Amino acid sequence: MTDRPHPTDRSPIAILASFSGSGGVERMLVNLMRGFVAEGREVDLLLIRDQGPHLAGLPEEINRIPLGTRHSLLAIPALARYLRRQRPRALLAVKDRAGRAAVLARGLAGTDTRLVLRLGTNLSAAMEGRSALERQLRYWPIRRLYPHIDRIVAVSEGVAADTATLARLPIEAIRVIRNPVITPDQGRLAAEPCPHPWFQKEGPPVILGAGRLQRQKDFPTLIRAFARVSQDRPCRLVIIGEGSDRQALTDLVRQLGIQHQVDLPGFQANPLPFLAAADLFVLSSAWEGSPNVLTEAMALGTPVVATDCPSGPAELLDAGRIAPLVPVGDVAALAQAMGATLDRPPPREVLKAAVADYDQGRSARHYLEELEQNRVV
């Protein structure tokens, strides 16, 4: 046991994260911090990267502390200085690289700060297709450093099982805490007017996809499935989000001759009016951790279809008993499920009840249970 002074009950909770884009991780982290503030906690947000639209949504009570670098390993000296100086009661690291940096910084600082790591993706699925050397280089530091973390929190049972296997840890070392998706202001935000004209007037059904335009979301499969559905009925497809695959997706839409039925309007600061107004939401991902936008759609009672990707959709949809699950990358199966769900949508109340555990306040309290335990060393 270190002979340095312990943090006090009035010490802040520190969060180490990187805000570098417009993804769901950043949005969920803002929701979680709002939950901490609502529970009366002081929060220091230590930023490896300090950019992205979701920073504008931070509660004013959050102490925002840029670490002056864009890489987690380069942030270790500044993080160690912070730990020595501020003595936070606990440090929550968000994502794998931040967690590894936190372990090293705590050792450098010589403090006994309790360290909790939040993991939100299925890493083995994300690494699929990489060489054996690439996988080993990624997994080796995980196996070396994760045993020094006081608690790992996974966003789904699938992420927990995957992490236990990769890190060679007992599953008991990992706790599943659902994402803080359902917020007190969700209803108000969803009731705002949807800015897209296809949702504002009578017309054919609108199918919605959402997420970063990148390989993980597999929007080519969604676009090809939509092309099949649109042959049998009038309908439209809107995909909200931004990313490096925009041009490739636009080219695919043109090749399929559906450019007048498909629109990619870019990032939306408030996606909830789109989700509330859609006739069907489709998650076409190749992998996830716990898909927040699918959870949001269900919380609003919007009919959904999802791929049975690792991890999360099967847990949300009760292995397909609540709404259809289809194999990853299967255009024909996805198109069939989309058409069937447009014809026979599941009851709204069933969808809403399935995601009741994804509540902001409940999630924040569960995280605080882990962060505010006394550390055993």
- In a domain, residue 66? The reply is yes
Mean pLDDT of the 181-201 span: 94
Residues 343 and 365 in one domain: no
Residues 216 and 332 in one domain: yes
> For position 81, what pLDDT does the model report?
97
> For position 21, what pLDDT does the model report?
65
> For position 218, what pLDDT does the model report?
98
Q: Please give the share of the chain, as a percent, with pLDDT higher than 70.
A: 96
Residues 268 and 301 in one domain: yes
Residues 202 and 314 in one domain: yes
Q: Tens digit of pLDDT for each residue in 230-282?
A: 999 999 999 999 999 999 999 999 999 999 999 999 999 899 999 999 999 99
Report the domain count for the chain.
2
Residues 162 and 277 in one domain: no
- In a domain, residue 7? The reply is no
Residues 74 and 136 in one domain: yes
What is the rounded distance in angstroms from the CA atom of residue 377 to the CA atom of residue 362?
A: 29
> For position 24, what pLDDT does the model report?
75
| pLDDT tier at 2, thresholds 50, 70, 90 | very low
- In a domain, residue 339? The reply is yes
Q: Please give the share of the chain, as a percent, with pLDDT higher than 90.
A: 85
Which residue matches tokens 């959870």? 295
> For position 170, what pLDDT does the model report?
97
State yes or no: pLDDT of 201 exceeds 80: no
Mean pLDDT of the 352-363 span: 97
Mean pLDDT of the 148-164 span: 97
Residues 366 and 317 in one domain: no
The answer to whether the CB of 267 falls within 8 A of the CB of 242 is yes
Residues 225 and 101 in one domain: no
Residues 171 and 190 in one domain: no
State yes or no: pLDDT of 1 exceeds 50: no
- In a domain, residue 232? The reply is yes
- In a domain, residue 207? The reply is yes
Helices (H) and strands (E) in the chain, counts: 15, 13
CATH of residue 123's domain is: 3.40.50.2000
The answer to whether the CB of 69 falls within 8 A of the CB of 48 is yes
Q: What residue numbers bound the domain in which 35 lies?
A: 13-180+359-371
3-state SS class at 236: strand
Q: Tens digit of pLDDT for each residue in 23-55?
A: 678 889 999 999 999 999 999 999 998 877 778
State yes or no: pLDDT of 377 exceeds 60: no
Region of 40 on the Ramachandran plot (φ > 0 left; ψ -120 to 50 alpha; else beta): left
> For position 8, what pLDDT does the model report?
52
The answer to whether the CB of 286 falls within 8 A of the CB of 311 is no
Q: Tens digit of pLDDT for each residue in 82-140?
A: 999 999 999 999 999 999 999 999 999 999 999 999 999 899 888 888 999 999 999 99
Strand partners, 153: 118, 175
Q: What is the pTM of this model?
A: 0.90
The 10 Å Cβ neighbour count of residue 357 is: 14
Three-state secondary structure string covering 241-308: CCCCCHHHHHHHHHHCCCCCCEEEEECCCCCHHHHHHCCEEEECCCCCCCCHHHHHHHHCCCCEEEEC
Residues 88 and 213 in one domain: no
Q: Tens digit of pLDDT for each residue in 47-77?
A: 998 877 778 889 999 999 999 898 999 999 9
* Residue of 174, 18, 2, 177 whose CA lies nearest to 83: 2
- In a domain, residue 2? The reply is no
> For position 134, what pLDDT does the model report?
92
